[in-house]
Amino acid sequence: MIKAIRGRLLWYASDPEQDGAAARRYHEDGLLVVADGVIRAAGDAADLLRTLPQDTPIADHRPHLVVPGFIDAHIHYPQTQVVASYGATLLDWLERYTFVEEQRFADAGHAAEAARFFLDELLRNGTTTACVYCTVHPGSAEAFFAESERRGTRMLAGKLMMDRGAPPALLDTAESGYRDTRALIERWHGRGRQLYVISPRFALTSSEAQLEAAGRLAREHPGCLVQTHISENLREIEAVAALYPADRLYAAIYDRFGLLGPRSLLGHCLHLAEEEFGLIHARGAVAVFCPTSNTFLGSGLFDWGRMRDPRHPIRIAVATDIGGGTSYSMLATMGEAYKVLHLQGQSLSPDAAFHAMTRGNAVALGLEDLVGSFGPGHEGDAVVLDSAATPAMARRRVRIRTIEEELFLLTTMGDDRSVVATYVAGELAHRRAAP
């Protein structure tokens, strides 16, 4: 079935941090043609309309922007009722709020309801792919994948592995974590659009035996990504050093167990030692920048410039990190990223920000041939954006002359209100209510 979406099409064919504006593809009156969920063509409407059968359904979104569906590289679906928990930093936030809430996911009905809310909310915010932490309960991952499969969304997720450092009701064991993860991989990895991510929470909540088991899973299932947290908070780093006295570096712990490679996603990376930059660079792992979480929990400032140091360049992904993070919106997340970099005398161009949450995250997740771009053969996930979504945005937009200025307005003032519609594999999955 062929369908088309008409609007101002914008996507990236390469990285604007390297290629500048030449990385951007932009069609003022553009058409995105999707056949059976896959992009057949993207370009000028005047050219492409001639090639389509007369009766092709066309969703006309002019004058709005149409960009690839946003990708969130790190988010916790069980934390929708943890967001905005007051007055804590990482370790007491985990203990007082997060570990309490995550225990509710022993109930499969609760997990299913939370997964429905969560996916609705992602789509309302224009996010069509996310790398998702579930809870320790295998049923939480089961509920999430089942709901994502029902919607046809390209999602990556995994059950947490955690066998210490949390209430007993949230603990698995090295053996059961291995067994349950393996069973979930066999059931879900590569089934339709679902992908499994091996998910040891972090060094504080896994024994050495469990990290060894996670490393074994990564070796046995090289197609799976690995996600974990590292170097977010100074007290966390001290506690990790006390638990792992033989390892001089936090990153070296994960490395020792085979958890540091090009398919590893390392949440936060805020207080890395110089040697850790070298090690993470050498292994090709990805540092995941979660700006609203880092400011909300008072954890620290992600040093993007240092990640780009030519002596040890580190790959970067960007993410909301709900529920340490405060917004589901990747637009708002990139607005906060700009401020975090600005505070350090660095800049983040509008092109770099839009690239990061689309093609950039796709590259970081190894999915650049599938999502994050409108190149032919990519899956037809798209978001339609209104840069005059609020009276304040509409007033500001009157002064705007260039596409870069418009993109910057969207990341500075935009959020879910700017999302007019979200398409999953060419099908309408969310439409903003009429004002």
Q: Which residues bind ligand XAN (CB under 6 A)?
A: 76, 90, 94, 98, 201-202, 229, 232, 293, 321, 324
Least distance (Å) between residue 132 CB and Zn ion: 10
Cβ-based nearer residue to ligand XAN, 2 or 241 = 241
Least distance CB 165 / ligand XAN (angstroms): 9
201 binds, among ligand XAN, Zn ion, none (CB under 5 to 8 A by kind): ligand XAN
Contacts of 357 (CB under 8 A, 6+ apart): 70, 71, 72, 318, 330, 331, 333, 334
Question: Does 415 interact with Zn ion (rule: CB under 5 A)?
Answer: no
Nearer to ligand XAN, 98 or 387 (CB): 98
Q: Residue 237: name its binding partner from ligand XAN, Zn ion, none (Cβ under 5 to 8 Å by kind).
A: none
Q: Which is nearer to ligand XAN, 295 or 418 (CB)?
A: 295
Choose the contact partner of 40 out of Zn ion, ligand XAN, none; CB within 5 to 8 A by kind: none
State the nearest-atom distance from the C-beta of 202 to ligand XAN, in Å.
Answer: 4
Q: What is the SS3 assignment for 311? A: coil
- Which among 181, 178, 237, 248 is positioned nearest to 207, based on CA atoms? 178
In terms of residues, how long is the chain?
A: 435
The beta strand positions in 77-231, using DSSP E, are: 127-133, 155-158, 160-161, 194-200, 225-230
Closer residue to ligand XAN (CB): 16 or 267: 267
What's the rounded Cα separation, in Å, for the pair 177 and 114?
Answer: 22
By C-beta, is 42 or 214 nearer to Zn ion? 214
- Which span sits near Zn ion by CB under 5 A: 166-174, 217-225, 267-275, 376-384? 267-275
Separation CA 129–CA 352 (nearest Å)? 19
The distance of closest approach from Cβ of residue 405 to ligand XAN in the complex, given in angstroms and rounded to an integer, is 33
63 burial type by CB count under 10 A (0-12 exposed, 13-18 middle, 19+ buried): exposed
CB 155 within 8 Å of CB 194: yes
Judged on CB neighbours under 10 Å (0-12, 13-18, 19+), 24 is buried
* Residues 6+ away with beta carbon under 8 Å from 228: 199, 200, 201, 202, 203, 254, 259, 264, 265, 266, 267
Say which entry of ligand XAN, Zn ion, none residue 426 contacts (CB below 5 to 8 A, set by partner kind): none
> From the CB of 137, what's the least distance to ligand XAN, in Å?
15
Which C-beta is closer to Zn ion: that of 59 or that of 90? 90
DSSP string, 71-90: EEEEEEGGGTTTTT--S--H
Q: How many CA atoms lie within 13 A of 260 on its CB side?
A: 23
Query: What's the closest the beta carbon of residue 400 comes to ligand XAN, in angstroms?
Result: 35
How does DSSP classify residue 172?
Answer: -
Least distance to ligand XAN, CB of residue 388, Å:
34
Query: What is d(CA 340, CA 350) in angstroms, rounded to the nearest whole number?
Result: 14
Residue 136 interface partner, choices ligand XAN, Zn ion, none, CB cut-off 5-8 Å depending on type:
none
Residue of 292, 290, 1 whose CA lies nearest to 130: 290
Q: How far is the CB of 229 from ligand XAN (least distance, A)?
A: 4
Q: Which is nearer to Zn ion, 266 or 384 (CB)?
A: 266
- 233 or 418: whose CB is closer to ligand XAN? 233
**Alpha carbon 130 to chain centroid, angstroms:** 5
User: What's the closest the beta carbon of residue 238 comes to ligand XAN, in angstroms?
Assistant: 14
Question: Which residue, 208 or 404, has its beta carbon nearer to ligand XAN?
Answer: 208
Q: How far is the CB of 199 from ligand XAN (least distance, A)?
A: 10
# chain residues binding Zn ion, by CB under 5 A: 2
Instruction: Pick the binder of Zn ion from 102, 172, 255, 321 (CB under 5 A).
Output: 321
Contacts for 375-378: CB closer than 8 Å, 24+ residues apart: 375/11, 375/13, 375/39, 375/42, 376/39, 376/40, 376/41, 376/42, 377/38, 377/39, 378/38, 378/39, 378/68
Q: Which is nearer to ligand XAN, 41 or 91 (CB)?
A: 91
Q: Which residue is nearest to ligand XAN (CB)?
A: 324
Q: Residue 335 touches which of Zn ion, ligand XAN, none (CB < 5 to 8 A by kind)?
A: none
Residues near Zn ion, by CB under 5 A: 267, 321
